[in-house]
Amino acid sequence: MTKTAYTLFIIVAIIITAQTAKAQVVKYGNDFLNIGTCGREQSLGGCAVASTSEAAAGYWNPANLSVPKGYKTDICATHSFFFGGLAQYDFAAASYQADSLTSVGLSFLRLGVDDIQNTIYLFDQNGEPDFSRITYFSTADYALFFSLGRKIARIPGLSVGGNVKLIYRMEGSFAHAYGFGIDLAASYKKRDFSAGIILRDATTTFDVWNINKEKFDSTYLATGNSIPENSVEQTAPSILWSAAYTLHLGRFAFMGEIGSEITFDGKRNYLIRSDFACVNPCAGLEVSFMDMAFVRFGISDFMKNNHLYISRTYSYVPSLGAGIKVSRFSFDYAFMDASTNSYEYRTNVFTLGARF
């Protein structure tokens, strides 16, 4: 059996296993993996599957995994926060140029809320509150990406890639889950045009949840709460794609990109929606000067909102950012505003990058 045939056999076996496994397909499964990361890509409204590159591509499109010319390794680190700093989001990635056609990458992601008060044991045996019995715990989601990107020598401009994702999720000492999934991706570049697509959770991604029932005492049940059971959850596949074109005018370059996310886990509140699939469009614009200074704008998450007194309204999430490259180092910043009247929905994203 050739290597190609063996690879196809493994992929088919995984797909068959995924379809026959007794698991529940959940809406918004592993949604922490869909938030997005990296200042450049986020400032474009997450519309970056075609234009992403270097280490960040391990998350956005592994087919574009690369290292800048003249270097062997690219690294980046991102920090952002949500809900006024309540939730912390951290991402780190590295890519390595194995040969002229192949790049490999490693990415790590964490979304967590720390120092949550555990009041299960707040009341003593006499029914009186004892604040010294309060403890603290964290809830966090982790993901590790092993990425591979390779140029197809016989078809200039075409690249393919993929991710193997390992997932760990924990709710303090009450519950934890282990997950596994695969992403498949492709991209095409010709002169100033580029296009990219990634099939996330291609075989569906599994999360196996284990509930530690010993951590719930009788008071928890006496107040009408129910303890969830051990379960296996499936995250349905989704598609992200975009196309970009760059216009050069002297020392300036203008890159415009359009694309969308297509989900298959049930009807969502998107502009285009059905029981089979929902489409969430996005667009981004990047203006650069001598490939050193960058200003970016984006728009995404178009939603239909129903209100009690207003039959229907529409909302969207604008984003903007800036970046700079100096020698082998870079810094990118993005700002997103999902609400005009509450700081809790405003997000700042900071990314540092370096090449060696």
Separation between Cα atoms, residue 276 and residue 298, nearest integer Å: 27
- Tokens representing 207 are 């999360």
User: Structural domain of residue 251, as residue ranges?
Assistant: 3-355
Alpha helices (runs of H) in the chain, residue ranges in sequence order: 3-20, 39-43, 57-60, 218-222
Q: What is the per-residue pLDDT for 6?
A: 44
Q: What pLDDT, on the 0 to 100 scale, is given for residue 219? A: 59
Note down pLDDT in tens along the chain; length 356 residues: 445 444 544 554 454 454 444 556 778 889 899 999 999 999 999 999 999 999 999 999 999 999 988 899 999 999 998 877 788 999 999 999 999 999 999 999 999 999 888 887 777 777 788 888 888 889 999 999 999 999 999 999 999 999 999 999 999 888 999 999 999 999 999 999 999 999 999 989 989 999 888 777 665 666 677 777 888 899 999 999 999 999 999 999 999 999 999 999 888 888 888 889 999 999 999 999 999 999 999 999 888 776 555 556 778 899 999 999 998 999 999 998 765 444 456 789 999 999 99
Contacts of 31 (CB under 8 A, 6+ apart): none
Q: How far apart are the first and last CA of the chain?
A: 39
Predicted pLDDT of residue 2: 47
Give the pLDDT score at 113: 93
- Give CA–CA dist 158/160, Å, rounded: 7
Q: Can you give the CATH number for the domain in which 79 is found?
A: 2.40.160.40
Phi/psi of residue 191, each to 5°?
A: 55, -115
Closest residue by Cα to residue 46 from 278, 318, 234: 318
Place of tokens 């291609």: 202
8 Å CB contact between 314 and 270: no
Find tokens 């010709």 and name the residue: 190
Buried b (16+ CB within 10 A) or exposed e, 226-263: eeeeeeebbbbbbbbbbbbbbeeeeeebebbbbbbbbb
**Tally of domains within the chain:** 1
pLDDT of residue 18: 47
d(CA 80, CA 348): 6
DSSP assigned state of 329: E
